């Protein structure tokens, strides 16, 4: 599988890694900034941008990764539903309606 196709299929995990890396970089940059300033007033902007901003980016990355897992599970259920239909045991009961 070529890299372009893989990136298109796994875009959510790629994006999640990008956010996690960005979050880690922000945390490290914030730590460097805070350690280089002797005054609390000089450190606080680094805490907000590097610390809180880094946690924000890590949170988005984690959410994207978990969302990708949920999407995979959803696709597996699609496959199971197809298998149920093909086996003749319809997964849809009497309340089945066409919703499209």
Partner 1 sequence: MANAVAGARIRTTTRTLGVSRRRASAPSVLWGAEDLLRWVITLGLGGIVIVVCWYIAAGQATFSQQVGPLDAAVAGLLLAGIGNLAWLIHGRRALGERRRLLLPDVAEAVAHSAQPAQTVVAEPVSAAEAALEQVFLAGEGMERYHRPGCALASGRTGWTTATRREHELAGRRRCGVCQP
* Positions in the binding site for partner 1 (CB under 8 A): 1, 6, 9-10, 40-41, 44-45, 47-49, 52-53, 55-56, 59-60, 62-63, 66-67, 70-81, 83-84, 86-89, 91-93, 95-100
Three-class DSSP labels, 25-68: HHHHHHHHHHHCCCCHHHHHHHHHHHHHHHHHHHHHHHHHHHHH
Task: Find the shortest distance in angstroms from Cβ 81 to partner 1.
Answer: 6
Shortest distance (Å) from residue 10 CB to partner 1:
8
Q: Of the two residues 21 and 66, which places its CB atom closer to partner 1 in the complex? A: 66
Q: Please classify residue 61 by burial: count the beta carbons closer than 10 Å to its beta carbon, then call 0-12 exposed, 13-18 middle and 19+ buried.
A: buried
Tokens of 82: 């197809």
CB of 28 to partner 1, least distance (A): 17
Q: Which is nearer to partner 1, 4 or 96 (CB)?
A: 96
Contacts of 83 (CB under 8 A, 6+ apart): none
């Amino acid at each position: 599988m070529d890299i372009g196709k893989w990136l298109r299929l796994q875009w959510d995990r790629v994006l999640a890694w990008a956010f996690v890396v960005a979050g880690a970089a922000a945390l490290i940059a914030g730590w460097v900034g805070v350690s280089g300033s002797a005054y609390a007033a000089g450190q606080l902007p680094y805490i907000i941008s590097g610390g809180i901003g880094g946690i924000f980016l890590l949170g988005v990355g984690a959410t994207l990764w978990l969302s990708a897992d949920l999407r995979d599970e959803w696709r597996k259920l699609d496959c199971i539903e197809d298998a149920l239909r093909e086996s003749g045991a319809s997964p849809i009961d009497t309340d089945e309606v066409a919703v499209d």
